[in-house]
Amino acid sequence: MEKNESDTREISKNPEDYRDQLTSEEFAVCFMNGTERSFTGKYWDHKAEGIYHCVACNTPLFASGTKFESGSGWPSFFQPASDDVIHYVVDQSHGMVRTEVRCKACEAHLGHVFEDGPPPTGKRYCINSASLSFRDAN
């Protein structure tokens, strides 16, 4: 079932259904838990005002006003656009325990969240540019 983007999104698609609409890098990041190299993604140093959406299902994920420079080389945000757009998963890969963040609507892998961000949340959502699209506020 698919709802329009102003609703809380529920999308029942198989990850393979996204393969034709995404680039190979976007698919690898979103549905094969890949990551882009730091300082290479199109949004790591992006400063325009608007909303960052899930590249797979177009769910609004992060407002530009919550983006900050973390020095990590990936787009970083201190909070999602709303509480109901992110799904949190324990990630025990690579010999460490981290909290993975996924799009709640389509389960696309976005990145990870860490507890070393700025006020007011203290969170750093470290997100792959390849998992995002951007809509300018203008």
pLDDT of residue 89: 94
- Give the pairing type, strands 67-68 and 98-103: unpaired
List, for residues 57-108, the tens digit of each pLDDT value.
Answer: 999 999 999 999 999 999 999 999 998 999 999 988 888 889 999 999 999 9
* Amino acid present at 121: T
More confident residue, 138 or 40: 40
Q: How confident is the model at residue 2 (pLDDT cuts 50, 70, 90)?
A: very low
Q: How far apart are CA 29 and CA 19, in angstroms?
A: 12
How many helical (H) and strand (E) elements, i.e. helices and strands, does the chain have? 1, 9
> Residue ranges of the domains in the chain?
15-136
CATH of domain 15-136: 2.170.150.20
Residue 57 neighbours by CB under 8 Å, 6+ apart:
9, 11, 13, 103, 105, 106, 108
Q: In this structure, is the dihedral angle defined by the CA atoms of residues 89, 26, 83 and 67, taken in order, positive or negative?
A: positive
Confirm whether 126 is a catalytic residue.
yes
Catalytic position from the list 30, 57, 106, 126: 126
pLDDT of residue 17: 86
pTM score > 0.95 for this model?
no
pLDDT of residue 15: 84
* Amino acid present at 17: D
